[in-house]
Amino acid sequence: MRNAMNDFVHIFKLFDKPESRNLINLSRFYNNSSVLYEAIKSITEFNLTEGFLKGKKVLLKPNWVKHPLSHADEICLITHENFILVALEIILEKKPDSVLIGDAPIQGCKWEKLFSQTFFSEIRILSKKYNIPLYIKDFRRRKYIVSENKPTEDVRPLSDYIIFDLGKDSLLEPITLPGKTRFRVTSYNPERMALAHSTGVHKYCIAKDVFDADIIISLPKIKTHQKTGITGALKNLVGINGDKDFLPHHRLGGTNRGGDCYPGGSLFRYWSELLLDEANRRQGKKSYWYWQKLSSLLWYISLPGKEHRLDAGWYGNDTTWRMVADINRIALYGKPDGTVSNIKQREIYSLCDGIIAGQGDGPLEPEPLPLGIISFTNNSLANDRLMGMLLSLPVNKIPLLNIRNIYEKNSCEYTLNGKVISVEDLKQYAAKATPAKGWSNYLKNGQ
């Protein structure tokens, strides 16, 4: 008999034969609410019981990284809205006090284009049907659409967030050099990043809603990722941080200059980075375009290869996975007063949308991959290692899938369509995903 306190990864497979594992067949499940309902219910009903959810405040955290621009984006870029609606109804049947659906997309995301009017209508219908308050919230403090060069600051007051400083306990500390910080995130002012991350100081800006909730259920989209190799349950929690000026994504310079933006030490590429810094300091001003275009020109002149990315999208990025691990530690061990306990404060549940996964240059420009998998877990690391295996990625070569400072070494139960199964047995269901360009050469040699 299953023990609700044990770590688990429950999987539902939506295809019977290899030939039915195709884009046309699997994408239909998003519009087949009855099949989707039975699949999600079957892997969640043992843990998400009425006794567990009744009267509780629930936070649902989808992957709403960017508004979709095409039908392909709707099925492989973000958590599908029908997947969210079906999961939501299953939760509402257990009589929670309220449900908040929230995320912090990239600053250029147009929130109103993230979901259809049908989605809003269904939310209202469900709220009325179950007489339970439902809310949708944008966690971002800042918005900035590069093409319009119009930043919007302080969208939400700082009082809506809790600042956590992990200090020397941060996984970023070992790569933090004395003096001026080299941490960067593309299209953000480096001066603001320096206020949050320096020697002995590593701050994150976490939405208070995370700590107001009694139960957190993350709804990731399974994808390959330029900076971390894969995005799933672990990476999805980055969206609880409301201000990306607190989120280091790489370090200035190539590997020969002490950075991790790209391999080597090209002077042209380094100048391009410095010019981009100047542009980002001038966001909202006409001079922004001068510095931005000059940066792009120098980058072009440097003749970059697929492992040379101005946004550090390659296997040598040694920063982003550390930031992700820090966020997960805060989510699991953080307290409402901004301190971090040595004792886990809450469980994080993840219900992963891998029906149509994303491959290639995720998280923002993925291509559809018919994976045919839904997973539900209370151990994000175990889940993501399994998802990496199902994408045919060599998990031991991906730093994010080898973190050891968050999850205790508990035994983990794996089930497939209700039956206990071993990880080794699950290998037969792996699909061949195309990695992000900056990872392809590194990962092609397997384990």
Residues 135 and 261 in one domain: no
Residues 300 and 395 in one domain: no
pLDDT greater than 60 at residue 183: yes
pLDDT greater than 80 at residue 290: yes
pLDDT greater than 70 at residue 184: yes
Residues 245 and 267 in one domain: no
179/401: higher pLDDT: 401
What's the rounded Cα separation, in Å, for the pair 182 and 190?
8
pLDDT greater than 90 at residue 189: yes
Q: What pLDDT was estimated at residue 447?
A: 46
C-alpha distances in Å from residue 259, one per residue of 204, 265, 305: 22, 9, 17
Residues 19 and 67 in one domain: yes
Strand-pairing partners, residue 202, are 197
Q: pLDDT by residue (tens digit) across 194-221?
A: 999 999 999 999 999 999 999 999 999 9
To 5 degrees, how large is the angle CA 123–CA 126–CA 132?
105
369 found inside a domain: yes
Residue at which a domain ends, from 313, 336, 363: 313
pLDDT greater than 70 at residue 2: no
Q: How does the average pLDDT of the chain come out, rounded?
A: 95
Confidence bin at 404 (pLDDT 50/70/90): confident
pLDDT greater than 50 at residue 327: yes
pLDDT greater than 60 at residue 42: yes
pLDDT greater than 50 at residue 1: no
Q: How many domains does the chain have?
A: 2
Residues 197 and 277 in one domain: no
Residues 234 and 302 in one domain: no
Compute the average pLDDT of residues 23-31: 96
Residues 222 and 284 in one domain: no
2 found inside a domain: no
33 found inside a domain: yes
Q: What pLDDT was estimated at residue 213?
A: 97
Residues 207 and 270 in one domain: no
In the chain, % of residues over pLDDT 90: 93
Identity of residue 393: L
DSSP characters over 406-442: SS----EEEEETTEE--HHHHGGG---PPPPHHHHHH
Compute the average pLDDT of residues 26-44: 97
Q: What pLDDT was estimated at residue 444?
A: 81
Residue 175 CB contacts under 8 Å (≥ 6 apart), including other chains: 251, 260, 318, 319, 322
1 found inside a domain: no
Q: pLDDT by residue (tens digit) across 350-371?
A: 999 999 999 999 999 999 999 9
Q: In 3D, which of 108, 112, 186 has the Cα closest to residue 149?
A: 108
Q: What pLDDT was estimated at residue 408?
A: 64
Q: pLDDT by residue (tens digit) across 220-269?
A: 999 999 999 999 999 999 999 999 999 999 999 999 999 999 999 999 99
Compute the average pLDDT of residues 423-430: 95
DSSP 57: E
What's the rounded Cα separation, in Å, for the pair 376 and 24?
24
Give the predicted TM-score (pTM) of the model: 0.96
Residues 228 and 306 in one domain: no
Which structural domain range is residue 157 located in? 7-249+319-443
Residues 150 and 207 in one domain: yes
Q: What pLDDT was estimated at residue 30?
A: 97
Q: What pLDDT was estimated at residue 244?
A: 94
Identity of residue 288: Y
- Give the dihedral sign, CA 343/58/142/278: positive
Confidence bin at 44 (pLDDT 50/70/90): very high
pLDDT greater than 80 at residue 407: no
Q: What pLDDT was estimated at residue 205?
A: 98
Compute the average pLDDT of residues 115-123: 94
Residues 363 and 422 in one domain: yes
pLDDT greater than 50 at residue 399: yes
Residues 172 and 298 in one domain: no
To 5 degrees, how large is the angle CA 183–CA 189–CA 195?
60
Q: pLDDT by residue (tens digit) across 122-134?
A: 999 999 999 999 9
Q: pLDDT by residue (tens digit) across 96-110?
A: 999 999 999 999 999
Residue at which a domain ends, from 270, 297, 313: 313
What's the rounded Cα separation, in Å, for the pair 391 and 379?
18
Residue at which a domain ends, from 270, 289, 313: 313
